[in-house]
Structure 1
């Protein structure tokens, strides 16, 4: 049955070879059966620039390029970990970069897709930080720094983020219901797919006066997670690495 696949929060890094192996197996197995693959952010644990010579990046780019050569288009929305991923890596991998909110029409369904962090409006500290680091001038300045300095800054920021999150109420790190409804109403959709929260589920809701669904992808910690959309279903699927 023709279908599209959605994934997010894979968090690829050299320290987690099992996740890398699972992702590569997913590309060779599940993705090849789809008509399109959508990656909704945080493909990588961290991204400090397309000029980073990390061998893992080249390996993933080659695998994604092979998928495209097999006729499967891959689309990418930036996450909060890899928001600096740029045109150079996209060209090497064959991915199409999308804006932070996109509404593809698939199998008769208009679906709003995003990473999901912008929906967590109760976490005001994070939203202030996000606004700051998405300033184009600051990103340009950061990317102009030597690679070793960017690595140090990224490590320090990650440690600070972990410390801040450890003291937050878990509820404020989830999506805000009003923000969800506002986004779906703004785009006039009944379906929303996102990641970021690491709380995989399918939520039923009412929006625009009609039944709707919010589908949340899981993080790839110990198993894979994907959402499959076809003309007859929207399903959340788990699978072992």
Structure 2
């Protein structure tokens, strides 16, 4: 499984992994929450188009790239194999980084290797263009949702994951379908959506020596001023099946961070 520094407990400060951008990088694209599945062909095509055209040297996929992931042995099935082929092709012209989200935390080393992606711990400090940027999927900081935090701690445990992965693939797919249905039912009630805890964000940023955090998960793209010069930048989800379609990314350059609408 991918390392997850925050899994030990949402209230505790995690260890912060670090990644230094090579000196020749000029543009870095950051995106999340594509929720790719066989039901989202337009979103898949939007990703394929962007990976084929972007001028960025690196693309960071910050979680929930897949609507559900039930184990790396699923990567040989038709839709998953299509995703592998797309990412492997993209990895030949740019560097791909993957951080697990709450839907695809079971992406493991076999999938990463086949796609040519490098796994990132959550959280990771990206040192680029003379600044330190704190990258996270974001779900570990939604502290008001205590039921989710208990669930998150359970499913991120090695014992739970080992027990799930020991089940036949068909059974895991059914479990994933049930979990997805429960999540969609909760999302239908917007009042149940917890945002990131502002004080916890400030604590993480100060501990990591960063002034800005970039995350996804909430599907609420905007910039938040946390005070004392601290900010958090929220990535958009992607849904090119919707009317109107939506999807954007954040592009990091030496000149700063810019939101780019793709839909």
- Equivalenced residues, count: 233
Distance 2:152 2:248 in 1: 26
Kept in 2: contact 1:112–1:191 (CA 8 A): yes
Kept in 2: contact 1:202–1:236 (CA 8 A): no
Q: Deviations over 1:123-145 (max 9, x none)?
A: 11110110011110110110110
Asked if 1:14 corresponds to 2:38, the answer is yes
Kept in 1: contact 2:198–2:226 (CA 8 A): no
Kept in 2: contact 1:201–1:236 (CA 8 A): no
Partner residue of 2:141? Answer: 119
TM-superposed CA distance for 1:168, in Å, is 6.4
TM-superposed CA distance for 1:165, in Å, is 4.2
**RMSD, aligned α-carbons:** 1.5
1:144 to 143, 166, 171: 166
Asked if 1:216 corresponds to 2:239, the answer is no
- What secondary structure sits across from 2:73 in the alignment? coil
Partner residue of 1:185? Answer: 206
How does 1:83-232 map onto structure 2 within 5 Å?
Answer: 83-167=105-189, 169-170=191-192, 172-207=193-228, 211-221=229-239, 222-232=245-255
Gaps of 5+ in 1: none
Distance 1:107 1:206 in 2: 23
Distance 1:178 1:212 in 2: 11
TM-superposed CA distance for 1:185, in Å, is 1.3
Distance 2:200 2:226 in 1: 13
TM score, norm. by length of structure 2: 0.84
Asked if 1:37 corresponds to 2:55, the answer is no
Q: Deviations over 1:99-139 (max 9, x none)?
A: 11000101111000010101111111110110011110110
Distance 1:165 1:22 in 2: 24
Tell me: CA distance 1:19–1:168, structure 2 relative to 1, closer, same or farther (3 Å).
closer
Partner residue of 1:67? Answer: 90
- What secondary structure sits across from 1:75 in the alignment? strand
Kept in 2: contact 1:215–1:236 (CA 8 A): no
Q: Which runs of 4+ in 1 moved over 6 A?
A: none
Distance 1:46 1:75 in 2: 18
- What secondary structure sits across from 2:82 in the alignment? helix
Distance 2:99 2:253 in 1: 21
Partner residue of 2:98? Answer: 76
- What secondary structure sits across from 1:41 in the alignment? coil
Q: Deviations over 1:49-97 (max 9, x none)?
A: 1101322222222222222212x11111100000000101100000000
